[in-house]
Structure 1
Amino acid sequence: MLYIDQLGREIRLTKQPKRIISLVPSQTELLVDLGLSDRIVGVTKFCVHPDTIRKERSVVGGTKNVHLDKIKELQPDIILCNKEENTKEIVEELQKTYPVYVSDISTIEESLELIGQYGEIFEKVNQARALISEIRSELHSFLEFTKDKPRKKVAYFIWRKPWMLAGNGTFIDHLLTTNGFVNIYGHMNRYPEISEKELENLKDLDLILLSSEPFPFSENHINEIKILRPDAEVILVDGEFFSWYGSRLSKAFTYFKTLH
């Protein structure tokens, strides 16, 4: 069986994968929601949904470093990676021995494409179609809800000291746009850094969003930002809804409505 992953790489499988290692937290959640929990043999320490998965399956490391000996012991039929979350070196090393599927997602459509491909690879086509349909329905409802909302100019922070934000080419930026927000760093690539002075001098900024991940912003950081920008509204947001693609999208749009 021949499949093409989202980097255009060929993935050849001699049998339907029964032993899966997922090195991407959001894709681990997706596998479970497609009814594939019993086939997962390995996950990362960051795979927190469902919250029992790390106790029930072997933890093979993080997203940027893995224990090759643990992976070898698990004898996977396929390993699931992501271009942004896992390093090129990890993928190159693993593909010497195992089939490795690499996702590359910066839009909702690419996320839905991944769900459909997983449905085919793991013979969960009906479950994948149902999930895709649910997400499309939720998205349509959300776009109707936001169509007359004001287009606020926002900055989405993912890290503190150095201060880092979400720029273009990211899934976060795509979801900000889907929300009807104007990302004032949408002209900059990926995850730009800015100084506190730059933050103070930003023009026409309505709303600052502080993400819960990867840096765990808290109420104390709202006060810190307000000192620099007393004119802007500052709120904490659930980073998983802005950066986890896959089945989490089925819940994301209900959450996004609370931000408007």
Structure 2
Amino acid sequence: MSGHPNRIVIEDDLRRRHVFQSPPGRIVSLVPSITETVVLLGADQRLVGITDYCVHPEDALADIPRVGGTKNPDVPDILSLEPDVVLANKEENRKRDVEALEKQVPVFVTYPTTVRESLKTVRDLGTLLNAEDEAAKFTEECEGMMRSIAQDVTVSKPLRTACMIWRDPWMAVGPNTYASDLLKALGFENVYGSRKDRYPVTSLEELAERRPDVILLPNEPYEFDEGDKSFVEDFVNERGVSAMILLLMGSHLTWFGSRTLAALEYLLDIRRRLG
């Protein structure tokens, strides 16, 4: 806060300075995890537009106008809602849509690539929405959970892990991503961590060559199922790799912000079961 008691001066993750004379009263969110975080912070009544993929929590979002997808938002529709701010993400939203919107409205862009940065995103949104107490309560819970995890004996034994995110072509979680950092916090060592791309294209041959102890198959963005699990298991087993292969909730790996605490608890439970 600066100057006028309600004036907000804040930088987004692209290091762009935003000045608001009062907390934004009309918000459009173009990111499902940010939408959920806005609700967590008690500001859902200020949401005037969300994407087709903003579905949680269902009851809070049922009557809010939809403005298209994360990759194809309806810019004229968004502008017609007269938002005070649009909340976006560098990875999930297209640069051209952000640029088109910010000609007429402030666009606050997030880009967390670690768990710590995810908590910073929550605090930033708390500042922006005048919900700093709610943000502090949540982030302190997450930090306490992280301290507890760091002292867990099970987590101290690294498991070589591959987390796949797509098929045809096969793609995996790579370095400098929120998902990779989240897994690292739970003792899952990313076998694709040495690749340059954040989401490298790979193959099952390369996967087997990297000899993971664990292969994670989340249900988003690609919806891996039991058939995929059996296919991967047969392929790597034939090449002498006896990895543990798990289907899991993808939203806990990729939804930063409000989902971070649940993700830490969910992955810790999985990690303890794996030993």
Q: TM-score scaled to structure 1, two decimals?
A: 0.95
Write the deviation string for residues 166-196 of structure 1: whole angstroms up to 9, x where unpaired. 0001111111211111111001120111123
- The one-letter amino acid of 1:223's match is S
Q: 2:90 aligns with which of 74, 83, 88?
A: 83
Q: State the alpha-carbon separation in 2 of the partners of residues 55 and 73 from structure 1.
A: 20
Q: 1:107 to 1:94 in 2, by over 3 A?
A: same
Counterpart CA distance in 1 for 2:51 and 2:60 is 10
Q: Which amino acid aligns with 1:4?
A: E
- Contact conserved, 1:13 with 1:99, CA < 8 A, in 2? no
| Matched pairs, number | 259
Q: Distance in 1 between matches of 2:17 and 2:10?
A: 6
Letter in 2 for 1:169: N
Q: 1:239 aligns with which of 240, 250, 257?
A: 250
Instruction: Indicate which of 117, 130, 135 corresponds to 2:142.
Output: 135
Task: For 1:156, give the aligned amino acid.
Answer: C
Q: Identify the match of residue 33 of structure 1 among 29, 40, 58.
A: 40
Cα distance in 2, alignment partners of residues 203 and 110 from structure 1:
29
| Structure 2 counterparts to residues 78-157 of structure 1, below 5 A | 78-146=85-153, 149-157=156-164
| Equivalent pair of 1:23/1:81 in contact (CA under 8 Å) | yes
Asked whether 1:197 is paired with 2:205, we answer yes
* Residue 12 (structure 1) shift: 2.5
Q: What amino acid is aligned across from residue 175 of structure 2 in structure 1? A: N
1:118-138 alpha-carbon deviations (Å, 9 max, x no partner): 111111111111111111112
Q: Determine helix, strand or coil for the equivalent of 2:18.
A: strand
CA RMSD for the aligned pairs? 1.4
* Residue equivalent to 2:64: 57
Deviations 1:71-125 (A, max 9, x none): 1221101000011111111111110000110011001111111111111111111
- Inter-CA distance 248–148: structure 2 relative to 1 (3 Å threshold): closer
What runs of 5+ residues in structure 2 fail to find an aligned partner? 1-7
Q: Is the 8 A contact 2:155 2:187 kept in 1?
A: no
What percentage of residue pairs aligned between the two structures are identical?
A: 37
- What TM-score results when the alignment is normalised by the length of structure 2? 0.90
In the TM superposition, residue 212 of structure 1 has moved relative to its aligned partner by: 1.2
- State the Cα deviation string for residues 206-260 of structure 1 (Å, max 9, x = none): 1100011100111111101012112221111211111111111121221112212
